[in-house]
A and B are shown apart, each in its own frame.
Chain A
Amino acid sequence: NAGVTQTPKFRVLKTGQSMTLLCAQDMNHEYMYWYRQDPGMGLRLIHYSVGEGTTAKGEVPDGYNVSRLKKQNFLLGLESAAPSQTSVYFCASSYSRGFLNTEAFFGQGTRLTVV
């Protein structure tokens, strides 16, 4: 049982390049999220998904796109990377029990540097 797996773990991009971060979960969770973590800022929500085929914007969505074609996968894309997107990216997943939310499980993170 791997939980939440993020690929890659590290990446250096040049300004203007594109890339896709992959998140995979094996817990059959409905909800998936992408956060970015910056020093002194906590974790901020980029995009989220409440089920296969659905996505929505979070707090800081500009410059990112997402897709959830399969329930277990949630992809985060950067079409034209900018230095301001240098950050550590975390994927998380969770499920609800009735109308109550439960524990969110996080991946190990992807450290992205844009030069």
Chain B
Amino acid sequence: QQQVKQSPQSLIVQKGGISIINCAYENTAFDYFPWYQQFPGKGPALLIAIRPDVSEKKEGRFTISFNKSAKQFSLHIMDSQPGDSATYFCAASHISNSGYALNFGKGTSLLVTP
């Protein structure tokens, strides 16, 4: 059963626009919520991560918004660029769950058009 649900499955945004990807989880024990970026033929790489004691974290053009009561978190990419075109995965983990193993969403394929 999918412990982290991600939407949308695919997203097309114009250059300069805002990309928004949403995730929801059920396990309230999760205490680490990273986003991974994956380019074709490459392994996933950490983009940004948040812990549940804060509601927002920003790194450059990338922001995570976290809503603990709703058990939801989202990734916002401001001023989206063609180089941001990739697959994005949200994930969640906790030490009690398979040794910190990440539970991934199914991924969002982002295309930023020029």
Residue numbers of A with Cβ under 8 A of B are 4, 31, 33, 35, 40-45, 48-50, 56, 58, 90, 92, 94, 96, 99-101, 103-109
Contact = CB atoms under 8 A, between A and B. Distances in A.
B32 A40 contact: no
Interface in B49-66: 49, 51
A109 B95 contact: no
A56 B42 contact: no
Instruction: Please classify the interface of chain A as helix (H, G, I), strand (E, B), loop, or mixed, using the class held by over half of its residues.
Output: strand
Contacts of A96: 95, 100
B64 to A, nearest CB: 14
A101 B95 contact: yes
B37 to A, nearest CB: 11
B9 A40 contact: yes
Interface in B62-114: 89, 93-95, 98-107
Given A43-B104, A100-B32, A101-B32, A106 B95 contact: no
27 contacts: A31-B99, A35-B104, A40-B106, A40-B107, A42-B2, A42-B6, A42-B89, A42-B105, A42-B107, A43-B89, A43-B102, A43-B104, A44-B104, A48-B101, A90-B44, A94-B100, A100-B31, A100-B51, A101-B93, A101-B95, A101-B100, A103-B46, A104-B100, A105-B46, A107-B43, A108-B42, A109-B41
Contacts of B32: 100-101
Contacts of B99: 31, 48-50, 56
Contacts of A99: 95
Given A42-B89, A103-B46, A106-B44, A56 B106 contact: no
